[in-house]
Amino acid sequence: MNAPAKNEEFAVKIPDGVYAETVLDVQHYTDRLFRFRMTRPAGFRFRSGEFAMIGLMVGEKPIYRAYSIASPAWDEELEFFSIKVPDGPLTSHLQKIKPGDTVLMRKKPTGTLVLDALTPGKRLYMFSTGTGIAPFASLIRDPETYEKFEEVILTHTCREVSELKYGQDLMEEIRNHEFLSELVGDKLKLYSTVTREDYPFTGRITDLIENGKMFSDLGVPPLDPAVDRGMICGSAAMLKDTKELLERAGLTEGANNKPSEFVIERAFVG
């Protein structure tokens, strides 16, 4: 048998059942947060708000973690918003990617933060902390969200002001977007709060719901299951505490096979 050609010898073998996509753009926000965009495989379909398994070859082995797709279903590219964990099995490598690098993605997306899992309502709240904003970055750029709801309120709470930038940039992008700006109009509000620095709005979203400050800041009435719908994405503790508050207000949790008044999903950490 002939010795393998040099380029074959060094070629990385892509596992079966996954897409190998090309990184197009990487933006670092802080030493803990970055976003990247990559090519979208021609046959890849997903619903805005879903997540996929994203991976890298580390040595001979692929390592995957769940990542919410931050781009909307209509986008020709795929976007992800990621934390950097210094010794994280995936993110310690993923944070070093550059345009032209290959990122793996398993073929089947899934998730509960989808419009189909909610019953019709007037006002949609998206409650997020940290990288939990990612699925909502997808949904706030999807026209269907504005067809289904009259008002969309995205809340984003982070420890520090610099961590809010991704969400603020999204609003700017929508305002400047050829079609979205008109479609979204003034239906979308971003309510950003910070817990460990000074900022015009401070505090955990759970406290701001409980003491009513979120409602007075936004000029909206208290939560009402007749008109309000919710989606929650954050840490396990944040999900639990926010879910309790929504349930106390009379909203019930839904799922893909049983739409109801709110849905939750853990913000994944790699």
Let me know: does 117 contact 255? Beta carbons within 8 Å.
yes
Is 196 among the residues that bind ligand A2P (CB under 6 A)? yes
Is 204 among the residues that bind ligand A2P (CB under 6 A)? yes
Is 213 among the residues that bind ligand A2P (CB under 6 A)? no
- Single out the segment in contact with ligand A2P by CB under 6 A; choices: 63-71, 104-112, 139-147, 235-243: 235-243
Is 129 among the residues that bind ligand A2P (CB under 6 A)? yes
Is 33 among the residues that bind ligand A2P (CB under 6 A)? no
Let me know: does 66 contact 81? Beta carbons within 8 Å.
no
Judged by beta carbon, residue 138 or residue 206, the one nearer ligand A2P is 206
Judged by beta carbon, residue 151 or residue 241, the one nearer ligand A2P is 241
Q: How far is CA 214 from CA 97, 127, 189, 209, 252, in A?
A: 38, 11, 12, 6, 21
Residue 160 CB, shortest distance to ligand A2P, in Å, is 8
Residue 131's nearest CA partner among 101, 88, 98 is: 88
Contact pick of 30, 92, 235, 260 for ligand A2P (by CB under 6 A): 235
Judged by beta carbon, residue 32 or residue 47, the one nearer ligand A2P is 32
Is 54 among the residues that bind ligand A2P (CB under 6 A)? no
CA dist 85 and 31 (Å) reads 10
Residues with Cβ within 8 Å of 126's Cβ and at least 6 positions away in sequence, in order, are: 136, 139, 140, 152, 153, 154, 155, 230, 231, 233
Judged by beta carbon, residue 33 or residue 170, the one nearer ligand A2P is 33
CA dist 169 and 3 (Å) reads 52
Is 265 among the residues that bind ligand A2P (CB under 6 A)? no
Residue 108 CB, shortest distance to ligand A2P, in Å, is 27
Q: How far is CA 53 from CA 68, 92, 216, in A?
A: 9, 16, 39
Q: Which residue has the tokens 């900022």?
A: 199
Residues 150-179 that bind ligand A2P (CB under 6 A): 157-159
SS (H, E, C) 59-101: CCEEEEEEEECCCCCCCCEEEEEEECCCCCCCHHHHCCCCCCC
- Single out the segment in contact with ligand A2P by CB under 6 A; choices: 14-22, 94-102, 144-152, 202-210: 202-210
DSSP designation for 211:
T
Contact pick of 130, 135, 225, 270 for ligand A2P (by CB under 6 A): 130
Residue 66 CB, shortest distance to ligand A2P, in Å, is 16
Is 202 among the residues that bind ligand A2P (CB under 6 A)? no
Strands 123-129 and 228-234 come out as parallel
DSSP designation for 43:
T
- Single out the segment in contact with ligand A2P by CB under 6 A; choices: 35-43, 133-141, 199-207, 214-222: 199-207
Is 192 among the residues that bind ligand A2P (CB under 6 A)? no
Beta bridge partners of 190: 154
Binding site for ligand A2P (CB under 6 A): 129-130, 157-159, 195-196, 204-206, 235, 237-238, 241
